[in-house]
Structures are given as structure tokens and as C-alpha cells.
Amino acid sequence: MAEFTMELNDDQKQVRDWIHGFAADVIRPAAAEWDEREETPWPVIQEAAKVGIYSLDFYAQQFFDPTGLGIPMAMEELFWGDAGIALSIVGTGLAAIGVVANGTEEQIGTWIPQMYGTPDDVKVAAFCSSEPDAGSDVGAMRTRAVYDRATDEWVLNGTKTWATNGGIANVHIVVAVVDPELGTKGHASFIVPPGTRGLSQGQKFKKHGIRASHTAEVVLEDCRIPGSCLLGGKDKLDERLARARERAAAGGGERVKNAAMATFEASRPAVGAMAVGTARAAYEVALDYARTRTQFGRPIIDNQGVAFQLADMRTQIDAARLLVWRASWMAVAGKPFTSAEGSMSKLFASEMCKKVTAQAVQILGGNGFTREYPVERMHRDSAIYTIFEGTSEIQRLVIARTLSGMPIR
């Protein structure tokens, strides 16, 4: 019988402890400052680059971990440090996933290194999918990409919103409509190189949480990019569009994942791991507080009302981690998400994080409501997990459709 284990191996433990040390020594001490400043923490990103955490090699090593646990383990530890700073460090990864999921080997080799830069000159990248009128409803996307055969260029026009690193990125990955009649099947992803004329930053958002992470609109006005910047290449796109048109003409409904959905599906367990990290951090603060805070002559953890909350918090955190690990292992093992396990992991972990951080605030009482204690920030940060890369409602819709086989709306 094959050996089954849920124990991390020695190499994984070493990497985990290394990342945890960076989160504890570099990220966490800077968290409150950059949350207040609401600016990209470039010095912290540079420190991450110098030690090798912010680099293509690091994420490649974790991505190709044969157990599938490299990425979720890294995300949990970084976000244990601070969600806003951690998202500034890992936000480039979503754009990189977009290239890996949809691009050619040449495109991967050319553009991903430019997303990260070097330790002395760090860069970031942005993945641009959402629009003012097209968030969960990707079928409402209006950003257009038109091919100019005379120059072998694509011309992009539209506005993207909620883009992490939008406008400050060296490389932008933009999802656009190439054939409006095909709905979501008529979408494609494009690389917008650094310095492209016509790309500008629109509104920078002042956010409730993850405030150290830059979020802004990206405006595209007659952006001309080389034909080679279509992810996957034009031949592959033409073949896919032709198949979609044939099935549409025949009344068929080919279930094809568009460029944005392929990216989000690959990243959902990682988002679940981020939520686990934030929840774990809040739980640890609450546990330590409950052990040391005395009321009526004894530590408040002696009261069942507090102790039971902590028991539930730890149980929910561990359950969420197991769902994330299962989905991550299934992905690397090539096992299909027949029950939408990726969406399950993100749904449960993100909802859990909101509950656990709220309970942490409650356990700290008035102190938990102040910025003198980090659970206030963690609770604000937790709200994003149920929103970005597919809201909790969308995750439930994906799960329900997968389980029932019905087009539930």
C-alpha cells in the first residue's frame, strides 16, 4: 500500500521556516506603517528580492513542488506577516500565472523575468481583467482588441479596474474582447510591454483593507502592441474562435474556459491559503491575549465563552488549510476538480477568515477595535478574500453548477 502522509518533508519545513522568519522580522514590523501610508512598500519588496523570495526562481520552485504544497505554504506564511504587504510581494504572481496558463514557451521566457526585474531594480506586473461594468459578469467586458493586419499589431481600447499594481507595473496582462458575438469565448489575453503609449493609470483606490497594496484603474487608449504579444499566438486564437463559431452555429454550447477564468481557477487555492495565513495570525494574537489578559482575578481564557471561541477558530483554520492543500495537491497531480474543489477551498477559507478575525477583535474587546493591536487591521484585510478573484457568491455558483450539472443562475 502506498504511503500516505500529511507531514511536510524536511525541505518544505526549511522553506516554511525561512519564509516565516522573513514575515516575522521584515514584513510584520512594517505592517502598520505601510497600512497607514497606503503606498506600495517598495523597500520591503526589495528586501524580499534580495533574499530571493520576490523572484521568478522562488515561485517556480514552489510551483513545481511535486506535492502541490509549495505555493499554499508560502502564501500562508507571507500573509501571516501582513496581507497588504504580502499582496504587494505576490501580486505580480497573478500576471505571471496568466502568462503561464495561456502563453507560449517563448512568451513565458521573455516576459516573466521582466515582471520581477532584479534585486537592485525591482519591477512589478499587473493582471487586468475586471472593468467598471464587468466584475463577476465577465461576459459584460467591453475592452476591445482589434488586429491591424497591415502592421501586425493589436489595438487595445477600454478601461480596467481593481488592478493590483495597475499603472505602476512594468508589464500589464490585459484580457480583452476580440469577437463580441462569441461572448466569453471571444476573449483573449495580451501582454502590454513597458512604456507602451496609450496606457495610463486612472483612479487609485483608497481601500478598507490591504492598503499597502496598490489598486487602480488602467486606461487603454489606442494602445498598439506587437502581434507577438497575444498570449498563445494568433494561430491558436483563430482555431479556438473557429471552433466556438461552429458550435454556436450548430446550437451547441462548448464549455471553454476563457483567459481570465483559466487564470483565476489556477489561483483560487492560493487565495485560500492567503486567508488561512491572515486568520492564523489573528487567532495567535487572540490566544496570547486571552492567556495574559485578566478579568475578575483570572485570565479570560478560563471562561468558556472565550475558550470555546478559540477552539472553534483553530478548528476552522485547520479545516480550511486541509481544503486548500487538497485542491493544491489535486491540481499538481492532474486530477480534475469534479466537485469544484478549487472553489470550495477559496469559499471556505475566505468566509472562515472573516469570522475568525471578527472573533479575534471580540476577544480583545475595546483593544481589538483600536489600531494599537493588529487584529483591527487583520479584520479589515479579511474582507477582500470573499471579494477578489471570484466573490463567495460566485464560488457557490461554480460549486452548485458543478455538482448539479445545471445552468444555475
Q: Write out the catalytic residue numbers.
A: 389
Nearest CA among 105, 155, 162 for reference residue 132: 162
- Of the chain, the end-to-end C-alpha distance in Å amounts to 44
Nearest CA among 355, 373, 370, 354 for reference residue 289: 373
Q: 119: which 3 cell numbers?
A: 534585486
Pairing mode of beta strands 171-177, 187-192: antiparallel
CA–CA dist 158, 143 (Å, integer): 4
Q: Which long-range contacts (CB under 8 A, 24 or more apart) does 294-301 make?
A: 300/363
The full DSSP string for 128-157 is E--BTTBSS-GGG---EEEEETTTTEEEEE
Neighbours of 209 (CB within 10 A): 21
Residue position matching grid coordinates 491559503: 273
Q: 168: which 3 cell numbers?
A: 505602476
Residue 174's DSSP bridge partners are 128, 190
Which secondary-structure segment (H or E) carries 92? helix 92-102
CA–CA dist 275, 266 (Å, integer): 16
Tell me, what DSSP letter sits at residue 390? S
The full DSSP string for 298-362 is EEGGGSHHHHHHHHHHHHHHHHHHHHHHHHHHHHHTT---TT-HHHHHHHHHHHHHHHHHHHHHH
CA–CA dist 332, 16 (Å, integer): 19
Which secondary-structure segment (H or E) carries 188? strand 187-192
